[in-house]
């Protein structure tokens, strides 16, 4: 036990205890030297993390007779053992190690988890948890500082960074650089990140209790979900994200925002509505409007872009009016959706990628096109370099992510003679180029963002369904945070 103080600490037979790593601010424990080990009364006990990284998630009712107050906890499993309780019943229990605080002393103890909600004391502190410099006076109670259940009113606002989070990474590319970095960063920060193949999820959307099924089992409720939805599975992917959102997981990007960023026309409309500068852009459906379209964007040279294109593949430069007309004619012949855009010549094959996480630009890079190429995409052979953003560039990137509603976004900007112009907003930005160019650990910043946003662990379930309680339950299912 880590206690250098030689003065003896006296514990009564009942004491207020805090379990800081489980984010339990206070409960009353029975100090029982008759018992060898300690126990915490937990329910909804659910293992995760597999054999390699065993964890357990559980809920605690810290206050007897107040079942509506529940705290969601998680911890690393240090053992699984058979424990015989005082009434002679034996049961296999998960054992976790967690610091306990009584008065001004904090030390780590082992606690087994058991579901015995009818017990008066939420916790039992056995003799192995009682330190060398502590004695128990069985005739007295509360020899150490008394806490209060009022502490649970404040808990709602605190962050969740101490707890091991169960994070789901929704992707079809588990081996990509970005996926691997996210899993690695989550583990380095003490969490468990499970990779879920988006297209293998299936759902019962009529269910009163939303669920996601996978490989014949129901997926757990993740604390957070990191969606990386490829363009080819947007609509199905969004339905999956929405389902996780309904289940109460914190989704770093919500389905509607991902959908808005994917739809170039809609995204442009939102940006325009919020006075965010973009290259002049025109959309049309009818083949009769080609000349008009060219006029709107100021004539040739101009850019024609396929709506569904990514990685620069559907982006064509019409250098002369004639060339522009024939590209537009060709796209129309293919019945493709496209837009026509002013060509920002002075950008000179350079675009700037700003990575926005939680309303801040956390890194930026400059992409330079190859000689003779105007598209700066890395996939088109572009080179990445660090770049310093102006205040204006920072502000426009943050605002663009905000109006689209993305918590995490890659905002692409062109540097024009009239200031920065937003080109595109990506809801699943890759980390490889930007980590290399900026030297920043973006994956870790993403996980930090998750930690700061995971829903409160205190849920107040309604006792009976009044109007107010219905609202609370709804919030408990995971609204905006
Ligand atoms: P994608 O979504 O396929 O990546 P972008 O709109 O990002 O397509 O365009 C790809 C690249 O082409 C950009 O990175 C930029 O370098 C260049 N580009 C796109 N639009 C313009 C424009 N209006 N003016 C100048 N260059 C552009």
* DSSP conformation class of 200: G
Per-residue buried b or exposed e for 432-446, using 16+ beta carbons within 10 Å of the residue's own CB: ebbbebbebbbbbbb
What domains, with CATH codes, occur in the chain?
9-154 (2.40.70.10), 166-251 (3.40.50.20), 280-343 (3.30.1490.20), 347-452 (3.30.470.20)
Q: Which atom of ligand 1 is nearest to the CA of 347?
A: 25
411 C-alpha vs ligand 1 centroid, how far in Å? 12
278 C-alpha vs ligand 1 centroid, how far in Å? 12
Nearest CA to 283 out of 270, 296, 273, 272 is that of 296
CA distance 243 to 209: 10
Please compute the mean of the pLDDT values over residues 433-439 and round it to a whole number.
94
Please compute the mean of the pLDDT values over residues 183-210 and round it to a whole number.
87
Determine the residue of 341, 349, 375, 378 to mutate for testing ligand 1's pocket, defined as the one with the most ligand atoms within 8 A of the Cβ atom: 375
Task: Supply the residue whose CA is at minimum distance from atom 21 of ligand 1.
Answer: 343
Given this model, what pLDDT does residue 199 score? 87
* 397-411 residue pLDDT tens: 999 999 999 999 999
315 C-alpha vs ligand 1 centroid, how far in Å? 7
Three-state secondary-structure class, residue 315? strand
User: Which tokens is 161 given?
Assistant: 């960074």
169 C-alpha vs ligand 1 centroid, how far in Å? 28
- Please enumerate in sequence order all residues whose Cβ is within 8 A of that of 142, keeping only pairs 6 or more positions apart, or say none: 12, 14, 15, 16
Please compute the mean of the pLDDT values over residues 27-52 and round it to a whole number.
89
Task: Supply the residue whose CA is at minimum distance from atom 25 of ligand 1.
Answer: 344
14 C-alpha vs ligand 1 centroid, how far in Å? 68
Q: Which atom of ligand 1 is nearest to the CA of 412?
A: 7
How would DSSP label each residue in 243-311? HHHHTT-EESB-HHHHHHHH-HHHHHHHHHHTT-----EEE--SGGGHHHHHHHTTSSSEEEEETT--T
CA distance 420 to 413: 6
Judge whether residue 418 has pLDDT over 90: yes
399 C-alpha vs ligand 1 centroid, how far in Å? 20
The lowest-confidence range among 69-83, 247-261, 434-448 is 69-83
Residue of higher predicted confidence among 90 and 13 = 13
The lowest-confidence range among 85-89, 355-359, 372-376, 398-402 is 85-89
**Confidence band of 318 (pLDDT split at 50, 70, 90):** very high
Kindly report the pTM of this predicted structure. Answer: 0.77
Q: Which atom of ligand 1 is nearest to the CA of 342?
A: 23
User: Which tokens is 134 given?
Assistant: 């502590």
438 C-alpha vs ligand 1 centroid, how far in Å? 21
List, chain by chain if needed, residues with CB within 6 Å of any ligand 1 atom: 279, 303, 305, 309-315, 341-344, 347, 351, 374-377, 412, 414, 423-424
Q: Which atom of ligand 1 is nearest to the CA of 314?
A: 3
Question: Regarding beta strands 90-102 and 105-114, do their DSSP bridges make them parallel or antiparallel, or are they unpaired?
Answer: antiparallel
Per-residue buried b or exposed e for 143-163, using 16+ beta carbons within 10 Å of the residue's own CB: bbeebeeeebeebeeeebbeb
- Which residues, in sequence order, are bridge partners of residue 227? 170
Please compute the mean of the pLDDT values over residues 323-334 and round it to a whole number.
89
Given this model, what pLDDT does residue 458 score? 52
Q: Evaluate whether 334 touches 276 at the Cβ level (below 8 Å).
A: no
CA distance 478 to 454: 10
* 105-161 residue pLDDT tens: 999 999 999 987 677 899 999 999 997 788 999 899 899 989 988 888 765 544 545
């Amino acid at each position: 036990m880590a206690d250098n103080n030689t003065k003896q600490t006296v514990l009564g037979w009942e004491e207020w205890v805090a379990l800081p790593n489980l984010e339990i601010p206070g409960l009353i424990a029975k100090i029982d030297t008759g018992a060898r080990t300690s126990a915490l009364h937990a329910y909804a006990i659910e293992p995760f993390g597999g054999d390699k990284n065993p964890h357990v998630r559980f809920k605690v009712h810290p206050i007897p007779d107040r079942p509506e107050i529940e705290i969601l906890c998680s911890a690393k499993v240090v053992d699984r053992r058979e424990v015989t309780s005082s009434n002679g019943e034996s049961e296999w229990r998960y054992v976790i190690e967690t610091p306990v605080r009584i008065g001004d002393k904090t030390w780590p103890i082992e606690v087994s988890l058991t579901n015995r909600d009818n017990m008066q004391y939420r916790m039992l502190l056995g003799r192995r948890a009682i330190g060398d410099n502590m004695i128990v006076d069985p005739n007295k109670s509360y020899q150490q500082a008394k806490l209060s259940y009022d502490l649970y009113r404040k808990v709602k606002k605190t962050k969740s960074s101490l707890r091991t989070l169960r994070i789901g990474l929704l992707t079809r590319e588990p081996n990509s650089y970005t996926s691997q970095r996210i899993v690695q960063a989550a583990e380095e920060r003490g969490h468990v990140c499970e990779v879920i193949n988006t297209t293998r999820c299936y759902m019962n959307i009529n269910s009163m209790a939303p669920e996601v099924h996978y490989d014949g089992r129901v997926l757990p409720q993740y604390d957070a979900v990191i969606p990386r939805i490829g363009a080819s599975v947007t609509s199905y992917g969004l339905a999956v994200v929405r389902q996780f959102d309904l289940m109460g997981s914190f989704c770093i990007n919500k389905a509607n925002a991902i959908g808005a960023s994917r739809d170039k026309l809609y995204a442009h409309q939102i940006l325009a509505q919020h006075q965010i500068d973009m290259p002049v852009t025109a959309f049309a459906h009818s083949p009769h409007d080609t000349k008009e379209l060219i006029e709107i964007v100021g004539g040739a040279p101009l850019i024609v872009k396929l709506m569904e294109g990514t990685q620069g593949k559907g982006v064509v430069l019409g250098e002369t009016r004639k060339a522009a007309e024939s590209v537009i004619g060709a796209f129309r012949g293919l019945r493709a959706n496209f837009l026509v855009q002013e060509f920002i010549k002075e950008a000179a094959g350079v675009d700037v990628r700003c990575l926005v996480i939680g309303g801040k630009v956390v890194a930026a890079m400059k992409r330079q096109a190859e000689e003779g190429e105007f598209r700066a995409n890395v996939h088109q052979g572009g080179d990445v370099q660090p770049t310093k953003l102006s205040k204006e560039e920072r502000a426009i990137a943050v605002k663009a992510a905000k109006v689209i509603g993305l918590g995490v976004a890659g905002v692409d900007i062109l540097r024009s003679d009239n200031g920065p112009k937003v080109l595109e907003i990506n809801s699943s930005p890759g980390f490889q180029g930007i980590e290399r160019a900026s030297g920043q650990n973006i994956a870790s910043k993403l996980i930090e963002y998750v930690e700061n946003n995971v829903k409160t662990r205190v849920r107040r379930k309604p006792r009976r369904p009044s109007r107010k309680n219905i609202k609370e339950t709804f919030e408990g299912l995971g609204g905006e945070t």
